[in-house]
Amino acid sequence: MRAVLAKASLVRHRARTMLAILGVAIAAAMLLDMVMLATGMRESFRQLLLTRGFQLRLSPKGTLPFDTDATIGDVAGVMSTLRRNSDIREISPVLGGSIHIAVGGRDVSASILGIDPKVQGDYEVLSGNDVTAANAIVVNARLLGELRSKIGDTISVSTGYDPQTRSYSGQRALVVTGTVRFIYGASDQSAAAVRRETLQEMNAQLPTRAGDRASLFMIRVRDSANVEATRHWIESQLPNVSALSIATAIAQVDQRLSYFRQLSLILGAVSLFVGFLLVTTLVTVSVNERAGEIAVLRAIGVSRSHVIEQIVVEGVFISLLGAIIGLALGLATARYLNSILSAFPGLPMAIDFFLFQPRAAWSALGLLIASGIGAGVYPAFRAASLPIAETLRKEAIA
């Protein structure tokens, strides 16, 4: 009965009700997007780190992986130390750098990784073969297009280049054996990979890069192992490295991206407050227009609780319908905004700023319904407290 009366009251003023629902839908879309933004980056980054199952990453002391050009020396000694821990199952040393390739009188530069193809976790092969030979190189689609080459071509690759004299160092002829997609690479980044020993031999001509070095170690531990305990053990045994677990990496990224989280919380709170004010205003106006009707209902014996419940249902109905429409609108705008932000230079392609999670959608929906209930409370109690005789006299005089 209460729902029927609430519906009749809203249908009576269709235009006003539809505008209110549309306003709530826009507020709901913004609220959903902000909830997705606050939690999406964190979850997306966590999924990215776990893509290949490596739970730990070692980088030079005090840095994040590839955050600087610093490297870890004596790779063989580090590997020997790590293998003493029975909880460590796989170790993947990675050496980063840059390369230069002369193509038609111009210099094409790209980033390069030196890896062990048996345990690498940086890319997936799309076509051709991996770097099984010492003179093999795999490239991403962007670099292949810049080189205007194809699988099977031989290219001259250098790890050093002097732009003033236009001279190359660390040069070597390599065969393109395949195309790959770099998991942690940006969409606008030209990249390649070779065996780590190949890159070390090319770097031998450069004093600052020579030696048995790695920029990063990726470590996979046994399923039953305690990741944090293993991380503490590594840092105690290797004081010149920083060991990052998924939890510690996310904590550091949270610090760097705290602006987005703060912005999302502020805008989400504003959108929720706007929706609350919109519903409160509409229901209050509706109650004022129906003061005489409500007084008549009270005069013929309708209880205060019945009046309160009916008016609260009106607020909930507007919020619920607006939230459902806002859910679809929010998903559409989130996809568009995500495509813009994901194109930011240097960001991995797999990072999503707006990641849909059912929990986020339910949270936004629940907050809006709660605000709808709250928005109807004040006008409902005001309507139920109207003096019956005085209200009927004013309506008769009017």
Task: Count CB-CB contacts under 10 A for residue 202.
Answer: 24
Largest CA distance in the chain: 101
pLDDT digits (tens, 9 = 90+) for 145-197: 898 889 999 999 998 877 776 778 888 999 999 999 888 877 778 899 999 99
Structure tokens at 187: 């969409």
Compute the distance between CA of residue 99 and CA of residue 113 in angstroms, rounded to an integer. 10
- Please say whether the beta carbons of 334 and 354 come within 8 A: yes
Helix, strand, coil % over all residues of the chain, rounded to 5: 55, 20, 25
Question: Which candidate, 314, 345, 250, places its Cα nearest to that of 8?
Answer: 314
Cα 299 from Cα 77, distance rounded (Å): 90
Rounded mean pLDDT of 313-321?
Answer: 78
Q: 250-278: per-residue pLDDT in tens?
A: 777 677 667 777 777 787 788 888 878 87
Residue 63 DSSP class: -
Query: Has residue 131 got a pLDDT over 90?
Result: yes
What are the φ and ψ backbone dihedral angles of 173, each rounded to 5 degrees? Answer: -85, 125
Give the pLDDT band of residue 337 (cuts 50, 70, 90): confident
Q: pLDDT tens across 31-51, in order? A: 888 877 777 777 777 776 767
Average pLDDT over residues 366-372: 77
Plot region of 152 (φ>0 → left; ψ -120 to 50 → alpha; else → beta): left
The model's pLDDT over 47-70, given as tens digits with 9 standing for 90+, comes to: 767 677 788 989 888 777 776 678
Position 300 scores a pLDDT of 73
